[in-house]
Amino acid sequence: MTHKLILATESRYKIELLERLSLPFEAIAAQVDERRLEGESPAAMATRLADAKAKRLQQSHPDAFVLGADQVIALGDTIFQKPGNEERACEQLMQLQGRTHHLITAIALRPPAGAPLHAQVAFEMVMRPLTETQVRAYVHQDLPVHCAGSYRIEAAGIRLFEAARGDDFTAIIGLPLTRVWSLLEQAGYFEPS
């Protein structure tokens, strides 16, 4: 196998996840406008952004398989972005505490030839009722200011939840590896070049 694989990210979490598959790849940041389009559903937004990241890098790497991913946290129609600071993280968690929200992770694979492929994993996230003191202690410990929804479930954030319902837990961290492998197979990545 001599195909080049590029992961369109600078996220260390996504990089660490893809390393689990023992495939050679390069990670390159792909900057795209992450604002929600008017009337766009959370699921459509996740897929559009994953594809936009892959498409952006495919322009400069046309002979590579380019993988983009995006994650959207939604409570009803409200989307929670990366908070950027501790105060905003606390505000987001107080809105989510005691409620069930959806975490949608989308991936897009753009092969050198052929149509782009897409997949999506959705999780139903049931957060425990929390006090402001508990939320502030968590945020101070885990510093989830660069995480959509203001939690890191792969770290201390697991204690915020009663349940997480879905079928590929790596999607919660940011890259559903079962879907990544399937899309690579479908796109012919493992076939001799």
Q: What is the CATH number of the domain that holds 120?
A: 3.90.950.10
Q: Is the residue at 48 inside a domain?
A: yes
Q: Are strands 5-8 and 117-127 parallel, antiparallel or unpaired?
A: unpaired
- Is there a domain that residue 191 lies in? no
Q: Is the pLDDT of residue 72 over 70?
A: yes
Catalytic residue among 33, 51, 63, 70: 70
What is the extent of the structural domain holding 87? 5-186
Classify residue 193: in a domain, yes or no: no
> What are 101-130's pLDDT values in tens digits?
999 999 999 999 989 999 999 999 999 999
Question: Does residue 192 fall inside a structural domain?
Answer: no
pLDDT at 2: 65
- Is 62 contained in some domain? yes
Total number of domains in the chain: 1
| pLDDT above 70: residue 1 | no
Specify whether the CB–CB gap between 7 and 67 falls below 8 A: yes
Percent of the chain with pLDDT over 70: 99
The question of whether 70 is a catalytic residue gets the answer yes
